[in-house]
Amino acid sequence: MDDKVRTLLQEHGLKATQQRLTLLDYLMTHETHPTAEMIHADLPDISLATIYNTLEKLVEVDLVVIIEGLADGKRHYDFFAEPHYHIIDTDTSEIIDANNFDPRPLMQAARKASGLNITGYHIELYGVEPKDKK
């Protein structure tokens, strides 16, 4: 059942420990965008240090991305199976995932502008609930 998660970890060169299986499965099955603390609250058997360690590893191998810059000042984490971007409500700090945008032209432009091989991206849009100005 968590063979899928186990395989995912091993494909990315990470040893499949119990904690990593639990944490990655948690991220894959929750639509939320939790902080380390929030994860720890739901998975109290995994120490906070391990949650930080594990998240760091998952970010390294691109299974997870960090969402920074929210009003609460904490890092939020997001399982990143397929590429998407984030829309953040600056009033409520709600984070919405969206993928109705093709990033390839942007990556092309970035390569052209910098000469670098582009390896990834973070796109975050900020918005507010319309006031219905009428």
Partner DNA sequence: ATCTCCGTTTAGAATTATTCCAAACAAAAG
Partner DNA sequence: CTTTTGTTTGGAATAATTCTAAACGGAGAT
Question: Residues interacting with DNA, by CB under 7 A?
Answer: 10, 14-20, 35-37, 45-50, 52-54, 56-57, 73-75
Nearest to 35 by CA among 81, 89, 84, 75: 75
The answer to whether 88 and 70 are in contact (CB under 8 A) is yes
Strand partners, 77: 66
Q: Which residue lies nearer to DNA by CB, 15 or 133? A: 15
Q: Which residue lies nearer to DNA by CB, 48 or 109? A: 48
Q: Which does 109 bind (CB under 5 to 8 A by kind): its own copies, DNA, none?
A: its own copies
Q: Which does 124 bind (CB under 5 to 8 A by kind): its own copies, DNA, none?
A: its own copies
Cite the DSSP H helix spans in 12-60: 18-28, 36-42, 48-60
The answer to whether 95 and 33 are in contact (CB under 8 A) is yes
Q: Which residue lies nearer to its own copies by CB, 42 or 62? A: 62
Report, in Å, the least distance between residue 77 CB and DNA. 9
